Structure 1
Amino acid sequence: MSDPYDPANEGARMDFDGRMSYGDYLQLDRVLGAQKPLSDAHDEMLFIIQHQTSELWMRLAIHEIGAARAAIGGDDFAQAFKTLARVSRIFEQLNSAWDVLRTMTPADYTTFRAALGQSSGFQSWQYRLIEFMVGNRNPAMIRPHAHHPEIAALLETELTRPSLYAAAVAALARGGLAVPQAVLARDPAASWQEDEGVQAAWAQVYRDPRAHWPYYDLAEKLVDFEDYFRRWRFNHVTTVERVIGMKRGTGGTGGASYLRRMLEVELFPELWHLRTVL
């Protein structure tokens, strides 16, 4: 019988005393020590990990959306396209996570729901920041974070910047397409409002893609992202209905009824509605 395989014979480092290891680099002691169930229920670990991993993916999405916005602002479309494609893939991962959570039945959830207190995904500041960054801006949604002044300040600061979509529309104007000046001068803190002039500018791009290829590609990358974002919202409400039905959410929202209302929100309305007029 041959000797057991030893990676050290091929040069693998096996001694990490005083050297950085995989766990050191990723700070796995901190990451894997962050799951602290408050009950003895088996499925609470699933619930915690589902939401913690989603927050990690959202952290990356924030990093990439910020980079995409900066690239669009500098007319660096190649970089923007690469980054926006990554954001779509991030939301594909977020969508897949619901499949795991849906293995938790209503009976499973009731065994630990009381331990959640008033905590709710509605209070995710990273999710709120993503919505603010892409253009769905409602200053009232900062209030749940008032007890963390640094987070509230971060969200307030975001409202002073052009959103991802506002940056895209401004790029259209720099490219010579007719965007109404009133749109370009809008208060950045306001949620995006659909404008016929903006739709007409995007429609011009779609009617002659070859003449406006960077803007055509940009539009489709934005639509790709919103497509995945809409699926994430739909999967969210479907999972909530499957687990708690129409009960009120732990954070006081209407639960599934609140989430269904969010399904009607359009991030980039002109890009969807122009398809009807082409």
Structure 2
Amino acid sequence: MAAEGVVHGPRPYRAMTAQDRRDRSEQTEGEPVLDFSVGRANENSTPYIDYHSVDVLLSLQHPRTEEPAELTFYITGQIQELLFKLLFTEVNRVRDLLFDDRIDDALWYLHRIERIQRVLTVSWEPVSTLTPTEFAAFRDELGAASGFQSYMYRQLEFSLGNKERRMADAYRAVPWLHEQVTRVLQAPSLYDAVLSLLHRRGLIPKECVPVDHAEPYVPNPLVEEAWGVLYRSRAESPGLHALAEALSELNYQYSRWRSTHLLTVERIMGYKPGTGGTLGVEWLRRVAEHRFFPELWSVRTEL
């Protein structure tokens, strides 16, 4: 049920300066303001509700059964969608910084991405407590709904370089969504920006930098050789060496999320087929073996 007085879209607000906050703290002698109407711009809300759109957020849960465990599954899925959005935003920020040769700034945001990924992985913990009978009590109500259909997840994969046109074409039935996902498919990925940077630094020839960003990336031995040079001469290019390890950490954390997904699904439903038409656990096992930035992994065998 929607909350009373829910406001959708942009919210009115009243900004506060540092001086405003100091004045308020002096007036209350450091105690919290218990009149929540103070500073609000909406008579049906509070400043906190308005800032986070809490009333909207808490009105978006609509379980379809009386099974208590369904809410755990439902909210965890929504949390992961929000984290996909956050990761997608930050990955594109890093991409743009690398195109601008701002490696130090990119490394800072890659550090933040790693922390977000850790939260994403641990978000499986509540779902992992579901017993097979609890999950079975509401699974039929999912119908054909599957996480495989998540467009934020798909855009995140594309932004990291895992491009495949048919995955975008799957959204053709929803024109606005197909257009949005296709734009991301055709845009440069994070790895495209990395390869462009390596080219500008004279480490790989221009031919190694993808031109058609919508095509799946094909590993190149010259790129692997360039990463090998960077690892063997760390002191000469510390920024690029740090970038290589930050990208490896990003992939490592992403693979941890995929592997935890696999184990969680296996624990709560065994080897049943997935709702999206896949073989379930077997499909997830194959997906978990995928690696972004492939030469960064293959070069480790040669070092």
2:172 to 121, 146, 164: 146
Give the equivalent residue in structure 1 for 2:156.
130
Is 2:290 the counterpart of 1:274?
Answer: no
Pairwise CA distance, 1:212: 1.2
Residue 162 of structure 2 aligns to which amino acid in structure 1? Answer: N
- Listed one character per residue, the Cα deviations across residues 167-188 of structure 1 (whole Å, up to 9, x for unaligned) are 11110111121x1332224421
Q: Give the match's secondary structure for 1:10.
A: coil
Q: Give the match's secondary structure for 1:157.
A: helix
Give the equivalent residue in structure 2 for 1:181.
206
Mapping of residues 67-106 of structure 1, within 5 Å: 67-106=93-132
Equivalent residues of 1:180, 1:198 under 8 A apart? no
Q: Give the match's secondary structure for 2:277.
A: coil
What is the TM-score with the length of structure 2 in the denominator?
A: 0.86
Give the equivalent residue in structure 2 for 1:264.
289
Alpha-carbon distance between aligned partners in 2 of 1:143 and 1:41, rounded to the nearest angstrom: 35
Is 2:133 the counterpart of 1:107?
Answer: yes
Pairwise CA distance, 1:146: 2.1
Residue 237 of structure 1 aligns to which amino acid in structure 2? Answer: L
Give the equivalent residue in structure 2 for 1:196.
221
Is 2:33 the counterpart of 1:13?
Answer: yes
Equivalent residues of 1:209, 1:216 under 8 A apart? yes
Alpha-carbon distance between aligned partners in 2 of 1:122 and 1:145, rounded to the nearest angstrom: 11
- Listed one character per residue, the Cα deviations across residues 58-111 of structure 1 (whole Å, up to 9, x for unaligned) are 111011011000001101011100111111111110110112211001110000
- Listed one character per residue, the Cα deviations across residues 145-171 of structure 1 (whole Å, up to 9, x for unaligned) are 223222211111112222101111110
Identity %: 36
Pairwise CA distance, 1:9: 5.1
Residue 270 of structure 2 aligns to which amino acid in structure 1? Answer: G
* Structure 1 spans left out of the alignment, 5+ residues: 1-6
- Listed one character per residue, the Cα deviations across residues 125-148 of structure 1 (whole Å, up to 9, x for unaligned) are 111111100110011112332232
1:26 to 46, 52, 68: 52
Alpha-carbon distance between aligned partners in 2 of 1:256 and 1:207, rounded to the nearest angstrom: 39
Equivalent residues of 2:199, 2:206 under 8 A apart? no
Pairwise CA distance, 1:28: 0.6
1:210 to 226, 231, 235: 235
Is 2:88 the counterpart of 1:62?
Answer: yes
Q: Give the match's secondary structure for 1:75.
A: coil
Equivalent residues of 1:88, 1:228 under 8 A apart? yes
Q: Give the match's secondary structure for 2:212.
A: coil
1:185–1:269 distance in 2 versus 1, CA, 3 Å:
closer
* Structure 2 spans left out of the alignment, 5+ residues: 1-26, 41-45
Alpha-carbon distance between aligned partners in 2 of 1:181 and 1:86, rounded to the nearest angstrom: 31
Equivalent residues of 1:120, 1:250 under 8 A apart? yes
Residue 66 of structure 1 aligns to which amino acid in structure 2? Answer: N
What is the TM-score with the length of structure 1 in the denominator?
A: 0.93
Between 1 and 2, higher relative CO (CA 8 Å, sep ≥ 6) is seen in: 1
Alpha-carbon distance between aligned partners in 2 of 1:46 and 1:152, rounded to the nearest angstrom: 30
Give the equivalent residue in structure 2 for 1:120.
146
Alpha-carbon distance between aligned partners in 2 of 1:144 and 1:69, rounded to the nearest angstrom: 26
Q: Which runs of 4+ in 1 moved over 4 A?
A: none
Give the equivalent residue in structure 2 for 1:50.
76
